[in-house]
Structure 1
């Protein structure tokens, strides 16, 4: 198949001029959408299969996969001008469906790694802070100066007030057996070893950020890190990744805003630092962090093997490229992945 630089929509577009238009595109039936795709350069090898794919995945979800291949005219500014409607390169709808399905399996693979990491980190936080007392986690003195920092958003609450309110709401609203039992038998908040079981990943990450420095360091050390700030960044990055996966978002060519810091003193990460310098915001560095933390938890290498298999037996799609996930050509030489071959 021929390849061209993808693009159109240049300086005269409404986005470029700053003029906002009202949305006025009509609803189209499935067959009309198939006609539209063909008119825009996307071929259909089997119209019935194409209709089934649109009903299964949705036109709009799939459109994110062909967006990079839409025509871009000379003078186009990426992120500012809107590309043209036509897709160039001779692609079929099946190419983009295969990419979408590949991502769906990949999301489940990633979630399978995040679960033991999140569970382990909850347990470590509960153990570390619980040593100080069952309710130290909601003692304002433990929070120090972080207690009075304004919470994100427009709640008008401090971080401490917002956390305590959310913790109370979680206890009152939870239908977990242990929470129901606690409400019937005790007054007041949950001890931390029970409270962490109601926290989502984001709440866990925010609490780690305010923990006492020696507590933060103790947990970071468990994952082989010398800097608690590095582990804090990993929590933020992996929480973002977890949310993208849980909400069935595209991973192919995705820009991940919160880049995990890759420590230079860990031999397994040496090659990843060079990759991150070239294409920092793709998925690969996050996959490497997950592979590393699973090794620190003494988990079997099964997960790494599944990742390796998924990417070394790629979809038949002609628009699939490892670089769209930030994966370098020699990635299997890394000690993080050579164990998974």
Structure 2
């Protein structure tokens, strides 16, 4: 039975010191622990611990390094959120355009276009909730002008409200013989429907971590993107091994590959490299970054 009680901030600091974490007056630990919870920071000092049972720290473990890792991770999430926004908007645009023209503006309600009807019903339930909550003028005006039309607003209105996760599920659930499914994949450089769904699922999961301020540094990620054997655009030569897929690097590569199509002049490499320079105590291995990652064709414009 769990019987540990709550600790005051002073007790938290004393406990960390007793376990071997170096904390100086200049670290302002009391301030940080009053703004960032003990267990949120614990994810950053966990690798510093020598004994995971007694929670004793390795020699020369410093509270200042914990805060530096926390700040790095926060800025990394902000960077990736910006990158993922561009991918999300592109996917939304292509889904709306191609399927509304190939099928009709209410294609997302057509069960005959989807593999799994129960999954589609879940997606539509979420869409319905989003429409009901919406304060957007274009939704209010649609409801006012078309109050007798019991259908959802057309795709170009409805899908502007939905999340990246819902968009990726809609795309992945489309039947594989739907023309637009391959068209969208080809336009994004992933050839056909075989590969893109797993990429989108992986990126959507990372977006959720970013949105909920969850740690990305030194984290095992659940998604496993299916990599193209012969990508038509610039890619990496040093392919991650199977055991490296839970690390962030392969997912960053998928984002960069899509972004090179969506925004060819993007500064993803420069921003990521700059972040690593700003925080030299961050071990690139904790992200799965390869030693020569900056020289890979994928990460270069030429």
- TM-score normalised by length of structure 2: 0.91
Instruction: State the partner residue of 1:234.
Output: 199
Instruction: State the partner residue of 1:140.
Output: 111
Instruction: State the partner residue of 2:295.
Output: 333
In the aligned structure 2, how far is the partner of 1:109 from the partner of 1:160? Answer: 32
Note the alpha carbon deviations across 1:56-115, whole angstroms, 9 max, x for none.
22211111111123234xxxxxxxxx5322111321111111001100000000001000
Aligned pair partner of 2:128 in 168, 181, 188: 168
Distance 1:162 1:301, change over 3 A: closer
Count of residue correspondences: 295
Note the alpha carbon deviations across 1:237-275, whole angstroms, 9 max, x for none.
0000000111111111100111212212126333242x2
Note the alpha carbon deviations across 1:220-246, whole angstroms, 9 max, x for none.
001111231210001100000000111
Aligned pair partner of 1:55 in 34, 51, 57: 34
Q: SS of the residue aligned with 2:218?
A: coil
Instruction: State the partner residue of 2:268.
Output: 303
* Match runs of 1:1-341 below 5 Å: 22-46=1-25, 49-72=28-51, 83-131=53-101, 132-143=103-114, 145-147=115-117, 158-186=118-146, 187-188=149-150, 189-213=152-176, 214-266=179-231, 268-273=234-239, 275-277=240-242, 279-311=244-276, 313-317=277-281, 320-339=282-301
Unaligned runs of 5+ residues in structure 1 are 1-21, 73-81, 148-157
In the aligned structure 1, how far is the partner of 2:238 from the partner of 2:185? Answer: 20
Per the TM alignment, residue 183 of structure 1 is displaced from its structure 2 partner at its CA by: 1.3
Q: SS of the residue aligned with 1:71?
A: strand
Mapped contact 1:62–1:100 kept (Cα < 8 A) = yes
Structure 1 runs (4+) deviating above 6 angstroms are none
Instruction: State the partner residue of 1:78.
Output: none
Instruction: State the partner residue of 1:14.
Output: none
- TM-score normalised by length of structure 1: 0.81
Q: CA RMSD for the aligned pairs?
A: 1.9
Mapped contact 1:308–1:337 kept (Cα < 8 A) = no
